[in-house]
Copies of this chain bind each other. A is one copy, B any other.
């Protein structure tokens, strides 16, 4: 049984975050020592690493809840895991596209700046007039 500090070190998840996960029901409540300290079984490391990894891939807590649930039932069909991953993928593609549009616009703005006074600054100028944008839907 590990105390919370060791679990944090081994899983790479901070102590307050572990407690937070417990409070929202993503981690089960662990056993307690006589002095009321949390004591985790060794599997908790694996579970927390799983959660951390999913967070690093940008999955929301609710999605992770379901993924973690599935991971505990290896005989079930995995179509939902597939679906969640595809949804996340679509979200990512969308974000990348939006960011790329922002990047292009910023590059153009910076390029149009005379680097002198505000009056001739492309950055301020374009911000003040959306019609000067290439991508009207960013």
Q: Which of A's residues lie within 8 Å of B, judged by CB?
A: 46, 49-50, 53-54, 56-58, 67, 70-71, 73-79, 81-82, 84-86, 88-89, 92-93, 95-96, 99-100, 102-103, 105-107, 109-110, 113, 115-121, 123-124, 126-128, 130, 133, 138
Contact = CB atoms under 8 A, between A and B. Distances in A.
A58 B117 contact: no
11 contacts: A50-B127, A53-B127, A74-B117, A74-B119, A77-B118, A78-B116, A78-B118, A78-B121, A92-B99, A92-B106, A93-B103
Contact of A113 (B75, B82, B99): B82
A49 B130 CA distance: 8
